[in-house]
Every structure is written in structure tokens, then in C-alpha cells.
Amino acid sequence: MTGTLVSALRALPAAAAAVDAALPTWAVVVGAAAGWAAALSPSAVLSTRLSASYRELSPPVRVEWLSRVVSNLHAVILTPALAVTVFGDAALAAGAPFSSGPAVHALLKVGLGYFLYDALLVSAYRRTISAPGQTLFHHALVLSSVSWVLYSKLPLATVWAALLFLTEASTPFVNQRWFMAFRHRQSGAYKVTGLAMTLAFFVARPLYIPFACGWMLKHRVLYSGLTEYQLRVLLAIGVTVTVGLYGLNIYWFSLMARGLVKAFRGSGGRALAAAGKRSQVTTGGNATSAAAGSLAGAVANMRRHGPSPTSVTVNPDSAWIQKDGALRPAANGLLKRRQPVS
């Protein structure tokens, strides 16, 4: 099974390069964007059949759910293929010119199609999808820089773009925690998933990006043939985009880390215990019974119709999903994004 998967990953760059050679860049990018968008439909069918959480969601929240399913597909397909192509290139490791340029260009175009599709999706649902501003800023940096890389075809720029795409390896962990938040927030598995998400995000982004830049600059063959003008332009674009993305990832990681600390300190449990003590000293059984009846009615209504758009939100200070009683709803009345969609 593992051997078949590795063989498929090794064959994917060659297949992508063959398609890329037969089609112009715009056709590959647009075709890839259409392909990622088309994946929404089977994702909806599978989610409806396999996930009770999905079936209970309101339509706007379902859009984000499906976008995360597609982002998982993007991560598990493109990330290993680029990793095999770049880090598995024996010629590059030996100091020879970057021999897999065409294959990497083809994979970057497929990835560019994904970010184009997702940017259009977020723009179309900007009033309901969570934190569109951060997501569109992230996507704008990727779209503009990778478009320039494909235009310039400079070896150093190509490897730089490919290495930055590998940060998407943390995406499935981020999405899994988001999926679990609807039904398993009180479980130990949810906390473990949150821990795995935070660690994976740290390794794949704040820790990995400096390593990738150092690894790239170590291979002098990538930039030995550049003119002074090309080097200046590449550095200007590369430093600007890398710093922008790195700063955004550091911000997202700080929210995750803060939320992880709060979750494992059991602040929610202490608040619940305090609420229980207050209820014990409350006199007037009618009020207590009415409150219990109201709570039971709300739970029954949620089971029948799914959570309302404001029944779940994300604490912007912790990046962990909390109940409405703990904070005010997000401005758009839905989920407030604390990490990238991609």
C-alpha cells in the first residue's frame, strides 16, 4: 500500500509536467480552479452521508465545512508531490541545476488554481464565511507571488514557491479540530486534536519557514546564474511575501497556543463549577425549573434544526471554539476564522 502511494506520488509530477507542456499556463490554472470547485459536490454528498455534524449545520456553515474538505484534498495531494519533487531531487542535492523545474511549475499551477478557486469562494461568501479579510490577504500574497514565479521561471524563485507550498501540510490538522468542535468539544480527543494541531502548525510554519529559506540559500546553484537586477527583484518580492506570510502564521499560531493553554487549564470547567455553586444558592424553584425547561427546549430545537448561525463561534483571543455565553457572537454572526482555509 505504501509502495503504491509512493509510486503514485513520484508519477504525479511527470504527469503534471506532460499536461503542462500541452496547455498554456492560463488553461492549467483555470482548469485546476474548476477542478477544485467541482470537488465541492462530491464532498457535500459524502459529508451528508457520513457526518451527522454536517447534516445539522445551517447552509452558510456548510459552505465553510465543504471548503475545508477541499482544502484537505489540496494539502494531501499537492504537498507530498512537491516534497518528493524538490527534496527528492538527487541532482539538486548534488549541486546540479534544478532538473525538475517543469514538473514543479506544473504543480505550482495546480496549486495556484486552488488558491484562485478559494479566493473566489471566500469573496462570494464574504458576508457569511469566517474572517474573509485574513484569508483574502493570505491568498493575495500567494496568487501574486506564484504568478510572478511562473512568469520569471527563475530556479531560486521556483524552489522558494514550492517550499512555501509545503506549509500546507498542517492544514488537515487545523481542519480536523474545526470539524470536531461541533460535537466533541468536551471530549479528551478534542483536546488531543487541538494539541496535535498546534504542534503541527508550529512545525510546518513558524519552525519550517526559516529552515526552508536556509536550505534554499544553501544551494548556491539556484542563484549563481542570476543577474544583479534579477537577484534584487527576487529578494524584494521574496522577502516581502515571506515576511507577510510568516507574520500571519505567527499571529495564527499565537492564537492557537493561547487557546491550547486555556483548554488544558480547564477554565471552562472552573466556570461551570462556579455557575453550579451560584445555582445552589438560588432560591425559587420555579425560576430554576423554567431555566432547565428553556435549556431543554434549546437543545431539542438544535437537534431538530441544527445549530443556529450564532450558536457556535470562535474566541478571537484563543482560536478555540467556545459557546455563545462565553463571548459575543462574531460580527458576521457565524464562525470567526482563526487560521487559513487552505
Instruction: Label residue 109 exposed, middle or buried (CB < 10 Å: 0-12, 13-18, 19+).
Output: buried
CA-based nearest residue to 25, from 151, 134, 121, 120: 151
pLDDT in tens, 225-264: 889 999 999 999 999 999 999 999 999 999 999 988 988 8
Pick the most confident of 37-41, 99-103, 187-191.
37-41
Angle between helices 2-22 and 59-87 (to 10 degrees): 90
Looking at the domain assignment, is residue 273 inside a domain? no
pLDDT over 90, % of the chain: 51
CA dist 123 and 128 (Å) reads 10
In a domain, 317, yes or no: no
Distances (CA, A) of 158 to 19, 40, 57, 153, 213: 18, 29, 41, 6, 13
Model confidence at 131: pLDDT above 90: no
The answer to the question of residue 316 being in a domain is no
Q: Who wins on pLDDT, 222 or 197?
A: 197
pLDDT at 6: 66
Distance CA 61, CA 330 (A): 13
Give mean pLDDT, residues 140-169.
93
Where does the pLDDT of residue 3 fall: very low under 50, low under 70, confident under 90, or very high at 90 and above?
Answer: low
Confidence check: pLDDT of 147 > 90 = yes
Query: What average pLDDT is seen over the chain?
Result: 79
Query: Does any domain span residue 174?
Result: yes
Whether 243 is covered by a domain: the verdict is yes
The parent domain of residue 67 ranges over 2-265
Q: Are 238 and 146 in contact (CB under 8 A)?
A: no
Residues 255-309 have pLDDT tens digits of: 999 988 988 886 454 544 444 544 444 434 444 344 344 434 443 444 444 433 3
Range among 2-11, 70-79, 99-108, 333-342 rated most confident: 70-79
**Which of 13, 20, 2 minimizes the C-alpha distance to 84?**
13
Domain annotation covers residue 289: no
| Structure confidence at residue 9 (pLDDT) | 67
Residue 313 lies in a domain: no
The least confident of 190-204, 209-223, 290-304 is: 290-304
CB-neighbour burial class of residue 29 (10 A; exposed 0-12, middle 13-18, buried 19+): buried
In a domain, 203, yes or no: yes
Number of folded domains that form the chain: 1
